[in-house]
């Protein structure tokens, strides 16, 4: 799959230290931009739940 489909947050700087996301074959794929060969695959439902939890601050205590 071509790399042009990867998107990163508009809050990311121009460095390669960010998480990128794309959809492929009905799944959501995530990777760290500086480790492009490692890809996490999940479902859209699980990814949406993760985003809601992150926005609600459920992971803030890990920072």
Looking at residue 39, what DSSP letter applies? -
Residues 48 and 20: their CA atoms lie apart, in Å, by 15
pLDDT on residue 1: 45
Find out whether 11 and 27 touch, Cβ atoms under 8 Å. Answer: no
pLDDT (tens, 9 = 90+) of the chain, 63 residues, equals 445 689 987 777 666 678 899 999 999 999 988 887 899 999 999 999 999 999 999 999 886
Q: How many residues does the chain have?
A: 63
CA 55 to chain centroid: 14
Residues 11 and 52: their CA atoms lie apart, in Å, by 17
Find out whether 3 and 36 touch, Cβ atoms under 8 Å. Answer: yes
């Amino acid at each position: 799959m071509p790399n042009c489909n990867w998107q990163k947050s508009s809050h990311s700087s121009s460095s390669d230290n960010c998480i990128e996301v794309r959809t492929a074959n009905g799944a959501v794929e995530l990777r760290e931009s500086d480790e492009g060969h490692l890809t996490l695959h999940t479902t859209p439902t699980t990814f949406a739940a993760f985003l809601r939890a992150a926005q609600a601050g459920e992971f803030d205590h890990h920072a």
